[in-house]
């Protein structure tokens, strides 16, 4: 009955639990994260106290059951929390997004009782997770990966390199995709749980990025890393299913990050245009500025509806592949456009780091790139349309 009621609600109408988490995340973002945003961006590093508080607030294990130390929440709760955090800082937003929509979701869907009992309490309470799929030669063509896993008794020996790994500097639990049978192509891909203290595992080069600078993005090296067979997530040779299905959910999380950036840009623009005076009055009194703000608000609401719709479909066990692709594609377009418009409205002040909009603009660009480029989202949408 509850699921039916949720489906029938307008998409932006939140349940009581969702609203409570939204307000708590928004307050945390404003009171704790906001004063440290500039410092973290300049240092290209998350503040350890903020990481600790994310765990203490339950933001790192929203969907993990209470029996495993998590909040026992819903996918939609993760989405609204990511949105509210990203409204202030997209670096912290993606930090908790990867943990919830990729790593935790992969365990919840594919983990054995033994694996979940061992790892979920850690992910909910103290340890950061990372998702290791991309390589130098496998970006959009994710299944062209070269990372190899060779069977050796009760273990597999992993060798290879992973690139663009979010949360790598902070993480202690890594979901690594490697191929146990390259001759079988993607049907050899297997998902392994790798602990950061396993011999031969190391975090290498940290990327110096345009945006989301406080979020670590690093290269991962695997040199004869011995991983027990008990650390396989799902089944041998079925890692491609883990990757595809988890990334479909992760795209909705990136959509939430993008509408958070867009909301932050709009909020800043509205406040500034009411305060900034030219020709004897606030620039918000000029019709040309009003029209820009109205356009921004309208496009943001369209993006939010797409993201929330995909999230509702997912948590109600309905097909959401096309809707997730639409949500990620359009929200990333809107985030970049609205942050750019905000910079324009701020004028010269929009181009300096003293004001927040230049950071929103830099942070927005990644939305068109990671967890499936905009072109890949369009390809997915078109394929589904042509099959219908």
CA distance 174 to 57: 23
CA distance 191 to 43: 33
Residues 6+ apart with CB under 8 A from 115: 107, 193, 230, 231, 233
Q: Of 18, 219, 299, 371, which one is the catalytic site residue? A: 371
CA distance 221 to 59: 29
Which letter does DSSP use for residue 366 in this model? G
Phi, psi of 67 (to 5 degrees): -65, -20
User: H or E segment at 158?
Assistant: strand 155-166
Neighbours of 234 (CB within 10 A): 19
Which letter does DSSP use for residue 205 in this model? E
| Residue 222, strand partner residues | 160, 201
CA distance 263 to 342: 11
CA distance 312 to 18: 12
CA distance 75 to 149: 32
CA distance 40 to 89: 10
Which letter does DSSP use for residue 319 in this model? -
Whether residue 371 lies in the annotated active site? yes
Q: Which residues are catalytic?
A: 371
């Amino acid at each position: 009955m509850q699921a039916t009621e949720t489906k029938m609600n307008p998409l932006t109408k939140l349940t009581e639990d969702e609203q409570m988490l939204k307000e708590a995340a928004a307050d945390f973002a404003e009171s704790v994260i906001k004063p440290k945003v500039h410092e973290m961006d300049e240092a290209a590093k998350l503040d350890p106290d903020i990481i600790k508080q994310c765990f203490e607030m339950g933001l790192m294990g929203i969907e993990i059951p209470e029996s495993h130390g998590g909040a026992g929440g819903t996918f939609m709760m993760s989405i609204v929390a990511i949105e509210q955090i990203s409204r202030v800082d997209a670096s912290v937003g993606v930090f908790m997004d990867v943990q919830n929509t990729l790593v935790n979701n992969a365990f919840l869907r594919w983990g054995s009782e033994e694996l979940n009992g061992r790892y979920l309490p850690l992910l909910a309470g103290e340890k950061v997770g990372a998702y290791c799929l991309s390589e130098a030669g496998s970006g959009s063509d994710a299944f062209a990966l070269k990372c190899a896993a060779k069977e050796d008794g009760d273990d597999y020996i992993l060798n290879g390199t992973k690139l663009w790994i979010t949360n790598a500097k902070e993480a202690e639990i890594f979901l690594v995709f490697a191929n146990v049978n390259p001759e079988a192509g993607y049907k050899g891909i297997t998902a392994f749980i790798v602990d950061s203290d396993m011999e031969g595992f190391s975090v290498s080069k940290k990327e110096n990025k345009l945006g989301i600078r406080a979020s670590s993005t690093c290269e991962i090296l695997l040199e004869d890393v011995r991983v027990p067979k008990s650390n396989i997530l799902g089944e041998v040779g079925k890692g491609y299913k883990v990757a595809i299905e988890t990334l479909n959910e992760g795209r909705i999380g990136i959509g939430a990050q993008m509408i958070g950036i867009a909301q932050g840009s709009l909020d800043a623009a509205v406040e500034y245009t009411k305060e900034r005076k030219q020709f004897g009055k606030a620039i918000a009194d000029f019709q040309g500025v009003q029209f820009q703000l109205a356009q921004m608000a309208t496009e943001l609401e369209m993006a939010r509806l797409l993201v929330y719709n995909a999230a509702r479909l997912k948590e109600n066990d309905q097909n959401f592949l096309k809707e997730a692709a639409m949500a990620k594609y359009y929200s990333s377009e809107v985030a970049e456009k609205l942050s750019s418009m905000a910079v324009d409205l701020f004028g010269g002040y929009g181009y300096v780091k003293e004001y927040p909009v230049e950071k929103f603009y830099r942070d927005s660009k990644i939305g068109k790139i990671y967890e499936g480029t905009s072109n890949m989202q369009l390809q997915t949408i078109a394929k589904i349309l042509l099959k219908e």
